[in-house]
Amino acid sequence: MTVTRRIAVLDDARYREHRSPHGHPERPERLAAVGEAIAARRARLLALPARPATPDEILAVHPRAHLERIEAAARLAPAHLDPDTFVSEASFEVALLAAGGAVEAARAVARGEADAALAAVRPPGHHAEADRAMGFCLFNNVAIAARALRADGLERILILDWDVHHGNGTQHLFEDDRDVLYFSTHQFPFYPGSGDFGEAGRGAGLGATVNVPLPGGCGDAEYVGALRRVLAPVAASFRPQLILVSCGFDAHRDDPLASMEVTQNGFGEMTRIVRALAEQACGGRVVFVLEGGYAPSGLREGAGAVLDELLAPEAPPLAPPAPLAPGSTLSHVVGRVAAVQRRFHPEVGSA
């Protein structure tokens, strides 16, 4: 019997009203490419409405001074908050809408109204620190969604960040929290400079931060291998009740801001692994929230691959990974990660 999966998507034309100067890579046209992938599959998707995050939802992550700083900057727009991060007149309202959209998608899946979801929000969020906007990000959308789920009663949440840039803001917000595990694959060294192997959390959260820094030029084999050999055993031991994915598509081979080589097939295989892990651990509950991605082809192909894998009637079980090739980039990276993480997650590198 064919199972019809309830895959939700949240997108809204208002996300295009946040604007940066002409030529800035984080531009409204990014969502046109994602929209093409959504439109091609719209008949099989559930539509979720976007709504602004409430002050309480924002203040669970950011201090009031940060909220007021973004609002004031938008009143003075056009303005910039750092050399990369700009606001237009609509930016404050759109950023609230992005955070609220992430919360709505996460809650829809947590409540069982959808099996999985993609929130095509903008501006992105994972670089936003508690008290600082940076790296195109105003509010930390995924962190706000995670805190909302915790307030609703979920006890363990895994955040997988596969954006090509390390999510410094998300890591710092949760690095002392043992119940929100942050896992990142990212190009390193690269902006913002954080995310080295030894960053594994602090205090009660030691072991609940897992960084997989990758050198430039990595592609499908390294990204898929990192998820299979590191994420899979970490997820098995952590047992999340829901997985949030900071879903950037800037590791795509066409992206102008990075130097990775991930293809459409690679994003599909990564999604297949995440879906299989979610089905093993938490009834398949997984939510993808858009972060970066600055090539139209990468956004279109990546979003299409994610949706196709989520819509597939069944997720094939995880097969044993191929042996690591001695001397390979993947072997070196997995060995470095395992040296840090095996005292917290003994199976890392061996799955």
Coil, helix or strand for 284? coil
User: DSSP for 220-277?
Assistant: HHHHHHHIIIIIHHHHHHH--SEEEEEE--TTBTT-SS---BB-HHHHHHHHHHHHHH
Phi/psi at 149 (5° precision): -65, -40
> What is the predicted pLDDT for the residue at 1?
38
Cα distances (Å, whole numbers) of residue 196 to 126, 211, 275: 17, 6, 26
Is the pTM for the entire model greater than 0.75? yes
Q: pLDDT 10s per residue in the chain (351 long)?
A: 345 899 999 999 999 999 999 999 999 999 999 999 999 999 999 999 999 999 999 999 999 999 999 999 999 999 999 999 999 999 999 999 999 999 999 999 999 999 999 999 999 999 999 999 999 999 999 999 999 999 999 999 999 999 999 999 999 999 999 999 999 999 999 999 999 999 999 999 999 999 999 999 999 999 999 999 999 999 999 999 999 999 999 999 999 999 999 999 999 999 999 999 999 999 999 999 999 999 999 999 999 999 999 999 988 888 888 889 999 999 999 999 999 999 999 999 765
Q: Which residues pair with 47 in a beta bridge?
A: 9
Regarding the domain delimited by 7-341, which CATH topology (the fold level of the hierarchy) does it fall under? Arginase; Chain A (3.40.800)
Specify the DSSP class assigned to residue 85. E
Identified catalytic residue from 18, 66, 126, 127: 127
- Is 127 among the catalytic positions? yes
Q: How far apart are CA 28 and CA 50, in angstroms?
A: 17
- Alpha helices (H) along the chain: 30-39, 55-59, 64-75, 91-110, 141-152, 168-174, 220-226, 232-238, 264-282, 296-311, 329-341
Helix (H) or strand (E) holding 209: strand 209-214
Q: How far apart are CA 336 and CA 350, in angstroms?
A: 13
> What is the predicted pLDDT for the residue at 349?
76
∠102-105-109 over CA atoms, to 5°?
140
Sign of the alpha-carbon torsion through 164, 128, 173, 14 = negative
